[in-house]
Structure 1
Amino acid sequence: MNEASLLETLKEYFGYESFRPLQKKIITSVFVGRDNLVIMPTGGGKSICYQLPAILLPEITLVISPLIALMKDQVDGLNANGVPAAFLNSSQEEADKEAIFQKIDRKEIKLLYVAPESLQFVDRFLTNGKISLIAIDEAHCISSWGHDFRPAYTQLGYLKNRFPSTPMLALTATADKATRNDICRQLNIPNAKKHIASFDRKNLSLDVRQGIKRFEQITDFLKNRSSESGIIYCLSRKNTEELAAKLQRKGFKAEAYHAGLDHQERSQIQDDFINDKKQIICATIAFGMGIDKSNIRWVIHYNMPKNLEGYYQEIGRAGRDGLPSDTLLFHSYSDVIQLQKFASNARNQDVQLAKLDRMKQYSEALSCRRKILLSYFGEYLEADCGNCDICRNPPEFFDGTIIAQKALSCIFRLKGAEPIGTVIDVLRASQNEVIRRNNYQELTTYGIGKDISWQHWQQYLIQLINLGYVEIAFDRHNHLRLTEQAKKVLFDNEKVPLADIKEVQAQAKTEKTTIAESSLFERLRKLRLKIAREEDIPAYLIFNDATLKDMEKQRPMSDSEFLMIEGVGRKKMEDYGYRFIKEIIAFSKEKRETKKPKKTKKGSSLEETLKLYKADLTVEEIARQKGVTRNTVFTHLMKLYDEGKNINLKRYVGKSELKSVKKAKKKLDNPNSLKAYFEHFEEAISYENIKMSLKILEKE
């Protein structure tokens, strides 16, 4: 598949001019028939890696997805972009399923979403060769090493055996090394090409605070965020209900969400949040996996999560549109005790407890939090991020190079085969059973750190893990191992700054300015919400916040300009362009009227068009003289008409056309969609004439 064709499809259906990092590489790999494992953070553009090939591949693409809400969301989004997609699950009536099967037989569907539990529904019609691609979304659910293990996923290994020549694409936002290998093994794709995107979500601000007076801190945090959507994650159902009730009493549109509510109630709450009818959801971790809402501006963890994978995935639900967003984590000793109780009942208890310990270390860290998160997923960040509470208000540091060299040398001598406790015991010359049994007293590093207390060594080693010099092998009994970065300290004398353990400074509060109610962004947001209510779809499926921001910046006033906006494809331009352009023109006009009149530039493009119009030139003559297209001339004339200039649009629209458009306006289900008129007239009336007719009718 050539690059021009891929880019054309990307713009046509998804509205983007270029691919994000790794997307093109993954898509190309799919087209040559390879299996692939994709580790890409939430909001990184995973879905395009299978949705775009699905449009171009000859047969259907099968997508395995864990949640009904997630399927519905994705299918709605695809249909809004003009891509035929459907989903099958146990909640549907037989008649609905039969209708989908018939569409598949007629090759009218490009993507079919199925829950792993519902695979038996598709067995009856899918044979090898009838499927062009199999995509396994949330692939970490297959692994017991993962943070969200789902038994139904373990049956998916049979798919590769049944469809050996069909490429498989396994995708997840979070997976450590052990989980990645386990996914490939269980899906029977041992030779899958691994694509690991950067986990660095620069737009997310990271903040961790002690769990003291949490409600007061939350209301303070929300003070300047009255129009923004956010999620507060809690450990228990009771917490979600109490917190939602308290926030409601303070005037916030908050709602509790947990597994104890009935299905209908949960669906309603989720829909209200997606459609911006509710601003805040206080939820257990059951909430969010099925949410594709791109304009969640903040995420708060009322309690500490049980592991870094879950934490990273949950904060990743904020700022999926790439705009600045905030995260806040509260932690306390009682949270740790509660989570330890949960972990002790799990079948992989040791792994869960070790990962909880790592989460605790992150919460208590004294070094850049983004560095810690990235190093956990095997990514090294050179400089501190500047966008976390530690970077904004750093502790006191000292030159800890010698301490680091002692610790790293000891791990090296132990051949990466011992956990943190044994490493400290060797450094401090302890005499216990493990030391004697393994003859560790013979090592050259035995006792080289006896002048430092056990607790301090623990803190220093945690800092070295957080800085990316050491990693914990969870699938190898939590042994400490050196990373590539450690060589720089051991052999190149790289300096290691360590935080003074006694100096833990207070965390700074992040302040944020509110978006002015009078901004164009706010006007476009309100228009988007209005259209969303009319069409009964989530607002972000129309355009996400990043696209509205680009509109605010670029101020498009014609179809061709509107198509240049990031996130606007052909179908969305046809469906919504007219109303958004109209709003932008109205806003610009109001701003001009409130400002002091400025002298217009001599010979400006609009002024030239007006001059030529007054000279009785035809549209074709104006276009030729100015060296522009007919469409640009019509756009100028309509803009001048909006500005109140003496333009007679009836010169270009016949009486019969105007009458037809007037009739259609009363009849059509969606009288605000240009495409609806265009299709109604079976393309007999041009887009320009429809737009001009609507403008004339509007004024009349």
Structure 2
Amino acid sequence: MLSDARAALQTIFGYPDFRGVQADVVTRVLTGRSTLAVMPTGAGKSLTYQLPATMLPGTCVVVSPLIALMHDQLRAATAVGIRAATLTSVDENRAETRRRFLDGVLDLLYVAPERASGGEFRDLLDRGKVSLFAIDEAHCVSEWGHDFRPDYRLLRPLLDRSPDVPRLALTATADAHTRADILEQLGIAADGLIVAGFDRPNIRYQISPRDNVTRQIADLIAETPGPGIVYVPSRAGTEKMAAALAKTGRPTRAYHAGLEPAVRAANQAAFVASENMVIAATVAFGMGIDKPDVRFVAHAGLPKSIEAYYQETGRAGRDGDPAIAHLFWGADDFARARQRIGEVEPARQSGERQRLNAMAALVETPSCRRRLLLQHFGETDAPVDCGNCDNCLNPPASIDATTVARKFLSAVFRTGQLYGVGYVEGVLTGQSSDRSLQNGHENLSVFGIVSGDEAALLKPVARALLARDALRANPHGGLEFGPGAKALLKGDATLDLIVPARRSRRARGAAIDNPVGDPLFEALRAKRRELAQEAGVPPYVIFHDAVLRAMTAERPATIAALARISGVGAVKRDAYGDAFLSVIRQFREAEASE
């Protein structure tokens, strides 16, 4: 059975063998066993249901959360010859799709959870043959997950109506608690869990304090060619960021839920089709994007949890090529987050506080970021030095800032826990003002007690105190004590500050090995763009950069030689092979005539 699957894998997708746990998942599906597969983004989750769908009698029903994601996956499946369709509110061919399903000529049928849980869809399935239920982004079924969707909780009755049809739940982001909930909610036995791990070794993780974030992100763009996503906390901020980044010369667009639907769709389509566009977006953007060649993801503010951070950064480098995830954070991020926690129902506050504390640990750690990230998801054997995060590439020093922290806390207390960071800093450094005179704060023992090297530490100390919940911001923007203040003041805790190191050690895999400037590679990319425009699909649907790199290196002269390149399946070979061989032949002839 697995040998047949490998043969189909080569024919359809052009891959010589499975990667990671793909073979285990596919084997379970083909033998009718239900499975929850936790696989990192870029590990080929969609292949684990697309391939069996071509081998099993009937149609694989894929439940997916967003229409844009379904249409991306539809394009990719159709490009390799898989008979696929979507049944969504924006599809005008719904009657034809229903007919194709009932006639048994569909391998894949993509639907949203809202439609899948409805009575009309259940009646349709009763009249046709279903080979497999695939539940994509399965963490949406769990209230413990970071992206809970109530309609996912309504899928169980649909699944139970077909007890002999296997279920395949897929997610990249689920801790142990969420995994257990998914198994229970979807009726999958505990022995059906396959966890591939969470490591994305091709992503370089970097985290920096925010200091003129627009300039910082512009510098990142200048250093990183290729498409990128910049996550901005507010809708207005996305448009401001896009306008500012456009000055770098890169094409930019904004994306947020407040845009007109046509504008939002056009901006998304432009980004998906681009080879170098930067899109500034809220977190509403991303889950519906299956773009493999995103070279960087930048956060202009703090994600709401490590799970959200992992998923958002996971949109970079899905093709396996090197990518960068750079987070820029500030003390006000934590202040606002703790205020929001106070506004949610009491039952959820403890969990939200734990999530925020985990983010604080990630941004403050002087050790390997990847190790801490993987340990959060239960991988206790993560390496001490990953070689591809900022702390491992350039180990930072740390200094004991406990004395400065205590002085800062004392100033907050003696000024009545009413003022913001700037005012408290001014009191500590002895900056006289009308306000400090009127308040009588220039007579306090803490006035002017900080100078020189200590003064330079005040802003990072304030940032660290807010991150550790030793300080909180009140609704008026003033600072007040949090639970962590007492231990510092009593001498039961210390505060170490990270001193970022200068760049020195080269990141393993940080530079993409595209032969940029190689005339053959550029000509192949130009041909890919031309074919993509003719077909009305993004360039990566034709071939990934990795395939073009292999063509550049190997220069195949025949269709048979081209077909031996990984990623060239039968349908793409027949559709595009001659066009790419023609480009290679022209270069061979040009070289021979020189």
Partner of 2:46: 47
CA offsets, 1:402-441, max 9 Å, x none? xxxxxxxxxxxxxxxxxxxxxxxxxxxxxxxxxxxxxxxx
Is 1:216 the equivalent of 2:215? Answer: yes
Greater Rg by CA: 1
Partner of 1:557: 557
- The alpha-carbon deviation at position 90 of structure 1 amounts to 2.1
- The alpha-carbon deviation at position 558 of structure 1 amounts to 0.8
Partner of 2:428: none
Q: 1:286 to 1:591 in 2, by over 3 A?
A: farther
Contact 2:104 2:128 in 1 (8 A): no
Contact 1:395 1:500 in 2 (8 A): no
Q: 1:256 to 1:307 in 2, by over 3 A?
A: same
Contact 1:203 1:323 in 2 (8 A): yes
Opposite residue 373 of structure 2, the aligned amino acid is L
Mapped partners of 2:511, 2:572: distance in 1: 32
Mapped partners of 1:98, 1:122: distance in 2: 13
Partner of 2:145: 146
Partner of 1:267: 265
Opposite residue 386 of structure 1, the aligned amino acid is G
- Which of 499, 510, 515 is residue 504 of structure 1 equivalent to? 499
Contact 1:397 1:500 in 2 (8 A): no
What value does the CA root-mean-square deviation take over the aligned residues?
2.4
Mapped partners of 2:502, 2:141: distance in 1: 38
Is 1:394 the equivalent of 2:395? Answer: yes
Mapped partners of 1:12, 1:196: distance in 2: 27
Opposite residue 234 of structure 1, the aligned amino acid is V
Mapped partners of 2:382, 2:153: distance in 1: 35
- Which of 307, 316, 323 is residue 314 of structure 2 equivalent to? 316
TM-score normalized by the length of structure 1: 0.67
SS at match of 1:125: helix
Q: 1:107 to 1:268 in 2, by over 3 A?
A: same
- Which of 297, 300, 309 is residue 298 of structure 2 equivalent to? 300
Mapped partners of 1:195, 1:276: distance in 2: 35
Partner of 2:365: 365
Partner of 2:336: 338
Q: 1:241 to 1:377 in 2, by over 3 A?
A: same
Q: 1:500 to 1:341 in 2, by over 3 A?
A: closer
Partner of 1:107: 104
Partner of 2:281: 283
Mapped partners of 2:48, 2:343: distance in 1: 38
| Higher alpha-carbon deviation: 503-512 or 271-280 | 503-512
Contact 2:222 2:248 in 1 (8 A): no
- The alpha-carbon deviation at position 500 of structure 1 amounts to 10
Q: 1:208 to 1:534 in 2, by over 3 A?
A: same
Q: 1:592 to 1:200 in 2, by over 3 A?
A: farther
CA offsets, 1:191-241, max 9 Å, x none? 451111122211111111110122222222222435x10100111111111
Contact 1:203 1:325 in 2 (8 A): yes
Is 1:73 the equivalent of 2:72? Answer: yes
SS at match of 1:223: helix
Task: Kindly indicate whether structure 1 or structure 2 has the higher relative contact order, using CA contacts under 8 Å at least 6 residues apart.
Answer: 2
- The alpha-carbon deviation at position 503 of structure 1 amounts to 5.4
Mapped partners of 1:507, 1:144: distance in 2: 42
Moved over 6 A (4+): none
CA offsets, 1:152-200, max 9 Å, x none? 1111121332111111011001100110001111112244511111222
TM-score normalized by the length of structure 2: 0.79
Is 1:546 the equivalent of 2:546? Answer: yes
- The alpha-carbon deviation at position 342 of structure 1 amounts to 3.5
Mapped partners of 2:593, 2:222: distance in 1: 33
Contact 1:395 1:503 in 2 (8 A): yes
Q: 1:344 to 1:42 in 2, by over 3 A?
A: farther
Q: 1:383 to 1:357 in 2, by over 3 A?
A: closer
SS at match of 1:11: helix
- The alpha-carbon deviation at position 126 of structure 1 amounts to 1.1
Contact 1:86 1:112 in 2 (8 A): yes
Structure 1 residues without counterparts, runs of 5 or longer? 399-455, 464-498, 595-700
Residue correspondence of structure 1 range 168-567 to structure 2 within 5 A = 168-191=167-190, 193-226=192-225, 228-276=226-274, 279-347=277-345, 348-379=348-379, 380-396=381-397, 501-502=496-497, 504-506=499-501, 508=503, 512=511, 516-567=516-567
Q: 1:248 to 1:168 in 2, by over 3 A?
A: same
Partner of 2:32: 33
Partner of 1:598: none
Contact 1:288 1:314 in 2 (8 A): yes
Opposite residue 211 of structure 1, the aligned amino acid is R
Mapped partners of 1:308, 1:591: distance in 2: 52
Mapped partners of 1:128, 1:535: distance in 2: 34
- The alpha-carbon deviation at position 88 of structure 1 amounts to 0.6
- The alpha-carbon deviation at position 554 of structure 1 amounts to 1.9
Mapped partners of 1:593, 1:82: distance in 2: 39
Mapped partners of 1:568, 1:162: distance in 2: 39
- The alpha-carbon deviation at position 395 of structure 1 amounts to 3.2
Q: 1:550 to 1:182 in 2, by over 3 A?
A: same
- The alpha-carbon deviation at position 127 of structure 1 amounts to 2.4
Mapped partners of 1:334, 1:397: distance in 2: 22
CA offsets, 1:230-256, max 9 Å, x none? 100111111111110111233221111
Is 1:56 the equivalent of 2:48? Answer: no
Mapped partners of 1:133, 1:86: distance in 2: 15
- The alpha-carbon deviation at position 28 of structure 1 amounts to 0.8
Contact 1:40 1:198 in 2 (8 A): yes
Mapped partners of 2:352, 2:591: distance in 1: 58
- The alpha-carbon deviation at position 100 of structure 1 amounts to 0.9
* Percent of matched pairs sharing the same residue: 41
Contact 1:160 1:189 in 2 (8 A): no
Contact 2:35 2:192 in 1 (8 A): yes
Q: 1:334 to 1:575 in 2, by over 3 A?
A: same
Contact 1:128 1:165 in 2 (8 A): no
Residue correspondence of structure 1 range 151-162 to structure 2 within 5 A = 151-162=150-161
Q: 1:217 to 1:397 in 2, by over 3 A?
A: closer
Mapped partners of 1:516, 1:134: distance in 2: 42
Partner of 1:581: 581
CA offsets, 1:314-357, max 9 Å, x none? 11111111111111110111111223333444453321221121
- The alpha-carbon deviation at position 122 of structure 1 amounts to 2.2
Q: 1:59 to 1:262 in 2, by over 3 A?
A: same
Contact 1:34 1:168 in 2 (8 A): yes
